[in-house]
Amino acid sequence: MAKEKEFVKDIADIHENFPQWYTDVVLKTQLVDYGPVKGTMVIRPYGYGIWENIQKELDKRFKETGHENAYFPMFIPYSYLVKEAEHVEGFAPEVALVTHVGDNELPEKLVVRPTSETIICDMYSKWVQSYRDLPVLINQWANVVRWEKTTRPFLRTSEFLWQEGHTLHRTEEEAREETLKMLGVYEEFAKNILAIPVFTGRKSDKEKFAGARETYSMEAMMQDGKSLQAGTTHFFGTNFSEAFNIKYLDSDGVQKSPYQTSWGVSTRLIGALIMTHGDQRGLCLPPYVAPIQAVIIPIAMHKPGVVEKAEEVKSALAKAGIRVKLDASNQTPGWKFNEYEMKGVPVRIELGPRDIENGVVTYSRRDKVGEKFTMPIEDLVTELPKLFADINENMYNKALAFNNSHVKTVSTKEEIKEAVDTGNFALGMWCGDRACEDLLKEEMQVTTRNMPFDQTPVGDKCCVCGKCANKKIYFGRAY
């Protein structure tokens, strides 16, 4: 431990000051930097590399489920925002407004999109005429702007990157199915690509998206026991399609309003994976999104043939589609071990004269720091992909065990407070009244997270007001 402390002296203690640990890690590993305008972030290449891998994996899943990408303008006439009453109420205070071009004032102020329901509905109202035009299954990758008072890199920034799916359906049933299907896509992605086990369920009316009839979320539990809402899907019914006059002629000759959904995840996911998997040494990145999946560190580099062999191994791995880096710089191996541990590289491969002589490499796993393994050099290409799968599974299981041991079943307000104060989610019954949510928020900064699909009761009284209750819900503090 002495050695570890020495290396990581610039990173705050993860147990004593989790928020500072987070800030130290994201800055020191060069994932991100602060932009000049308050609340904005620069996503540096190492951070953007994670986002590119997230995009690639999600985009594949969206296309496999029949969606296409498009791009809608970022500027929305202010009058559009007002068309759906709940929507404007939710977003108006935090929208950035373009009022001028050069020295000239615009005839109507423009909203920089906080989300794109309104402008997309406007276009859909032109594109959809007949039942044959349905379903519409479109996704957009874009930047959005929501002005926030308190900001933190990835978690909450004025501008962030995301995807937003916007779909139209002929029947309510099909739209509801889409809402849950995409929640399932997010959950599977979180598990198999980010190694994050999530809590899925329905949001309360207070916590739902402004303008939605129902919102579903996946909540991820951070290592301080707080919740991070990592993705949402919304069922709109016909709220927006009526407000924006989207109509189609059905096969029975009747004009109807289609049912609508939207769903999104953002660069917040990067914050989620840092706070799920990181440790005192820094990042621990899941292999399928790590910008560097394996780093090769030559030992005794001055010995003839070492760097050459390392280059050869690197080329073979790169050719096999593995994201590999060879660090043949002049730093000491010790410095390099520390550096790539901090950067969370899943696999470190050491290659020295003795290894080469024996035809093996020594390797270690970021998820099992301190253990060393060996394998024949020629097995690397076939074994590394299996190793990545094993690392992802191990990281997932570790996080799952953490989740499972940090949910406390509660039956009173005091127990909710006790649970969240000690770094847990509280699972209990709720009557469904907003007044109870408002009280929790005011008294203990706790919100309802979501209602799991398994609604097997854990009591019959509301934890807050004591009245009859039939909703099982997670309570927690949230990012």
The residue from 15, 19, 70, 171 that contacts its own copies (CB under 8 A) is: 70
Chain centroid offset of residue 156 CA: 12
Number of neighbours of residue 251 by Cβ within 10 angstroms: 9
The residue from 14, 26, 58, 76 that contacts its own copies (CB under 8 A) is: 76
Q: How far is the CB of 36 from its own copies (least distance, A)?
A: 6
State yes or no: residue 82 binds its own copies (CB under 8 A): no
State yes or no: residue 453 binds its own copies (CB under 8 A): no
Is residue 215 a contact partner of residue 202, using CB atoms and an 8 Å limit? yes
Between 144 and 380, name the residue whose CB sits nearer to its own copies: 144
Q: How far is the CB of 103 from its own copies (least distance, A)?
A: 8
Residue with tokens 């500072």: 20
Is residue 433 a contact partner of residue 206, using CB atoms and an 8 Å limit? no
Between 33 and 173, name the residue whose CB sits nearer to its own copies: 33
Q: How far is the CB of 80 from its own copies (least distance, A)?
A: 7
Tokens of 181: 């299907």
H-helix or E-strand spanning residue 109: strand 104-112
Q: How far is the CB of 263 from its own copies (least distance, A)?
A: 17
Instruction: Measure the CA angle with vertex 162, ends 157 and 167; round to 5°.
Output: 135
Q: How far is the CB of 264 from its own copies (least distance, A)?
A: 17
The residue from 96, 180, 400, 439 that contacts its own copies (CB under 8 A) is: 96
Between 79 and 470, name the residue whose CB sits nearer to its own copies: 79
State yes or no: residue 72 binds its own copies (CB under 8 A): yes
Instruction: Measure the CA angle with vertex 76, ends 74 and 77; round to 5°.
Output: 155
State yes or no: residue 131 binds its own copies (CB under 8 A): no
Between 301 and 465, name the residue whose CB sits nearer to its own copies: 301
Is residue 148 a contact partner of residue 94, using CB atoms and an 8 Å limit? yes
The residue from 25, 112, 168, 274 that contacts its own copies (CB under 8 A) is: 112
State yes or no: residue 142 binds its own copies (CB under 8 A): yes
State yes or no: residue 69 binds its own copies (CB under 8 A): yes
Sheet with 407-409, strands from edge to edge, namely 407-409, 425-430, 471-476, 447-448
State yes or no: residue 331 binds its own copies (CB under 8 A): no
Is residue 116 a contact partner of residue 147, using CB atoms and an 8 Å limit? no
Is residue 295 a contact partner of residue 357, using CB atoms and an 8 Å limit? no
Q: How far is the CB of 170 from its own copies (least distance, A)?
A: 17
Q: What's the rounded Cα separation, in Å, for the pair 174 and 172? A: 6
Is residue 143 a contact partner of residue 71, using CB atoms and an 8 Å limit? no
Q: How far is the CB of 97 from its own copies (least distance, A)?
A: 4
- The single-letter DSSP state of residue 340 is H
Between 104 and 382, name the residue whose CB sits nearer to its own copies: 104
State yes or no: residue 263 binds its own copies (CB under 8 A): no
Between 34 and 402, name the residue whose CB sits nearer to its own copies: 34
Is residue 13 a contact partner of residue 4, using CB atoms and an 8 Å limit? no
Number of neighbours of residue 60 by Cβ within 10 angstroms: 11
Between 100 and 302, name the residue whose CB sits nearer to its own copies: 100
Q: Which of 220, 140, 212 is nearest to 179 (CA)?
A: 212
The residue from 18, 22, 26, 49 that contacts its own copies (CB under 8 A) is: 49
State yes or no: residue 44 binds its own copies (CB under 8 A): yes
Q: How far is the CB of 93 from its own copies (least distance, A)?
A: 4
Between 99 and 404, name the residue whose CB sits nearer to its own copies: 99
Tokens of 287: 């292999």
State yes or no: residue 64 binds its own copies (CB under 8 A): no
Q: What's the rounded Cα separation, in Å, for the pair 437 and 169? A: 33
Residues 6+ apart with CB under 8 A from 240: 84, 87, 117, 118, 121, 211, 246, 260
Please give the full DSSP string across 29-49, using - where no structure is assigned. TTSEEE-SSTT-EEE-HHHHH
Q: How far is the CB of 129 from its own copies (least distance, A)?
A: 14
State yes or no: residue 35 binds its own copies (CB under 8 A): yes
State yes or no: residue 161 binds its own copies (CB under 8 A): yes
The residue from 4, 23, 27, 74 that contacts its own copies (CB under 8 A) is: 74
Is residue 291 a contact partner of residue 340, using CB atoms and an 8 Å limit? no
Tokens of 322: 């593995």
The residue from 7, 18, 21, 51 that contacts its own copies (CB under 8 A) is: 51
Q: How far is the CB of 281 from its own copies (least distance, A)?
A: 24
State yes or no: residue 416 binds its own copies (CB under 8 A): no
User: Which residues of this protein are in contact with its own copies, per CB under 8 A?
Assistant: 33, 35-37, 40-45, 47-49, 51-52, 68-77, 80, 92-103, 109-110, 112, 119, 122-123, 126-127, 138, 142-143, 145, 147, 158-159, 161
